[in-house]
Amino acid sequence: MAAVASEGEVSGLALSAASVVRGPGEIALMVVEVTKRIFTRPFQFREFLEQAWFVTSVTLMPTILVSIPFGAVISLQVGNLTGQLGAQSFAGATAVLATVREAAPMAAAMIIAGAAGSAICSDLGARKIREEIDAMEVLGIDPLERLVAPAWSPRCSSR
């Protein structure tokens, strides 16, 4: 027996479909606004340096620790392949080249995006809970210009 949807259920579906479109649209609008504020004066250079140092301190050790297994796996695979081809003298140079060119930037980008992105989101969320962002708006300070743009630009320059 087919279930008949009531009018309330249909309007609930319409509301969720609208929110599916609205959410990404609001994010895209915020990205455009933050990008504009990066190139407007005055840029918060001190906050930019603090955020750049924060990204470095949060992601340096995990990046180093992840690069070791990446290098080991690539070295084993390249060593096996060069042994089959009879070019074992090129195994070391090929493994280093593959690690530096391919695996290390990919691992670093994933770690920077994950660790630094979650850290800045938790910082902004904590500021929202403590009503610091609301206080900035009351004082006439744009939170996107003061907090988000300086925090976003080191992440873009690190890629």
Domain assignment present for 77? yes
Based on the structure, what is the number of domains in the chain?
1
Structure tokens, 48: 């930019």
pLDDT of residue 91: 72
Structural contact between residues 108 and 61, judged by C-beta atoms closer than 8 angstroms: no
Structural contact between residues 50 and 120, judged by C-beta atoms closer than 8 angstroms: no
- Show the domain range for 131: 40-157
pLDDT < 50 stretches in the chain: 1
Domain assignment present for 74? yes
The Cα-based distances of 119 to 10, 108, 129 in angstroms read: 39, 16, 15
- pTM for the predicted model, two decimal places: 0.53
pLDDT of residue 147: 77
pLDDT of residue 4: 56
pLDDT of residue 62: 78
Closest C-alpha to 150, from 29, 45, 30, 31:
45
Domain assignment present for 21? no
Exposure letters 6-44 (e unless 16+ CB within 10 A, then b)? eeeeeeeeeeeeeeeeeeeeeeeeeeeebeebbeeeeeb
Domain assignment present for 8? no
pLDDT of residue 16: 73
pLDDT of residue 2: 52
| Spatial distance between the Cα atoms of 120 and 50, rounded to a whole number of angstroms | 12
| Spatial distance between the Cα atoms of 64 and 129, rounded to a whole number of angstroms | 34
